[in-house]
Structure 1
Amino acid sequence: MAELECARLAVMASGRGSNFAALQAAILNEALPAKIVRVIVDQKEAAVIEKAKAAGIPVTLVDYHAFASRTQAESIILDRLASDRIDGILLAGYMRILSAHFVATYPNRIINIHPALLPSFPGRHGIEDAFHYGVKVTGVTIHYVTAGVDSGQIIAQVPVKIEDGMSLAALAVSIHEVEHVVYPQTLKHLLKEGVFN
């Protein structure tokens, strides 16, 4: 597929980068009409940095603590994304809330993955919160990003059963395994629907 027909995507991540790797693999293996052209990271020790570099994708590290405000940090990111002519953004374990201004710059073109069945257990500790609450079924949610915390329109959900005697660590593994399947599948669907065009 010609370069001009491909959606130009950025991934924003804070940690291991396993969802980034799953998305990148799907784009390459399934010849999806998209290209990840930038990875934005807010943690200098994040393992996703090396994964992105190994894939030949440029990384921009933005240390929010180096700026007087979130607005200033986000302006650096937005300038970089504009320069890269980004069509859409995929959040993959990005542990920061985006401002209303940031979200409005890419309306309905920022997607997030959350390790629980929203609207239950929003926020940073979705896996732990569901586990400790004692629910029998949790799961994974893909949703559009708004300025609220995990409050955007739901795109896809996949349940994960919490088996009797299951440890928190085992649940986390199960959740991540589902994430690595459903996020690429959802990206494929969104590209087919022309969400990023």
Structure 2
Amino acid sequence: MTTQCNVVVLISGSGSNLQALIDSITQNGNPARIAAVISNRADAYGLTRAQNAGIATAVLDHKQFDGREAFDSALIEAIDAFDPQLVVLAGFMRILTPGFVNHYSGRLLNIHPSLLPKYKGLHTHQRALESGDSEHGCSVHFVTEELDGGPLVVQAVVPVLADDSAESLAQRVHGQEHLIYPLAVRWFAEGRLRLADQGAMLDNQVLPSSGHLIRT
């Protein structure tokens, strides 16, 4: 019997990946339970998505705190009030302090719009086009102190088309994000996914450095 896996989702914007998680849980029997959604921006539309789904919300405005450490300390307190087994970053536009990352070691997931380790940081779709890549995609990974650098869980690969713009490529990658993020959260909630000294493990097998690959 799978025990309940409480999840806290952190957002800064529209929350499309949050919506994909909500839909996965309500429609597909994902055993995760979103206990709360927390944003650093009061105008984030993802808060409305959460409220529409009956999920508790909270806002911590980073501008009200004296530095990243003070903000992250308050954020930890807000998150831990919901007793989460997993914390999910879904478009949370804050660089997290080592103290925060270590507090949630092994239970902190992020999604990034590139095939990591390629194109850490911003403007990933434009950078893939400028490099002439034939493939692009998105990655779910455990978060470590290295920006966009933790062990990979799952990657979705999409072909780069001859007439792609950054916008059209981004749209197709977003579609894959909405598939692989709920999948990774499901694996974690089912007890199949964990972080070990050897790296990310699925069903007690160490995942390859690229994570579980899905090609479209």
Q: TM-score, normalised by structure 1?
A: 0.92
Q: Note the C-alpha offset of 1:194.
A: 4.7
Secondary structure at the aligned position of 1:174 is classed as helix
1:159 matches 2:160: no
Aligned to 1:52: 50
What residue is the counterpart of 1:9 in the other structure? 7
Amino acid at match of 1:161: P
* CA distance in 2 between partners of 1:37 and 1:131 (Å): 38
Give the equivalent residue in structure 2 for 1:101.
99
* Unaligned residue ranges in structure 2 (runs of 5+): 195-216
Q: What do the CA deviations read for 1:94-147 (whole angstroms, capped 9, x no partner)?
A: 111211111111111000111100000011322232233331211010100011
Find the aligned partners of 1:89 and 1:122 in 2 and give their Cα distance. Answer: 21
* Alpha-carbon displacement from aligned partner over 1:131-187 (angstroms, at most 9, x marks no partner): 333312110101000112100000111111110011221111101011111111222
Give unmatched runs, 5+ long, in structure 1: none
Change (3 A) 1:195 1:137: closer
1:1-197 paired onto structure 2 within 5 Å: 5-195=3-193
Deviation at 1:29, TM superposition (A): 1.3
CA distance in 2, matches of 1:86, 1:142: 19
Specify the SS of the correspondent of 1:107.
coil
The 10-residue stretch of structure 1 (128-137 or 99-108) with the greater mean CA deviation from structure 2: 128-137
Q: Secondary structure at the match of 2:136?
A: strand
The structure richer in strand per residue is 2
CA distance in 2, matches of 1:66, 1:186: 33
Determine the C-alpha separation between the residues in 2 that align with 1:62 and 1:129: 32
Task: Give the structure with the larger helix fraction.
Answer: 1
Aligned-pair identity in percent equals 32
Give the number of aligned pairs: 194
Distance in 2, matches of 1:191 and 1:29, equals 16
- The one-letter code matched in structure 1 to 2:76 is L
- In structure 1, C-alpha distance between the alignment counterparts of 2:104 and 2:159, rounded to whole Å: 34
Q: Distance in 2 between matches of 1:195 and 1:157?
A: 15
SS in 1 for 2:95: coil
For residue 154 of structure 1, what is the amino acid of its counterpart? L
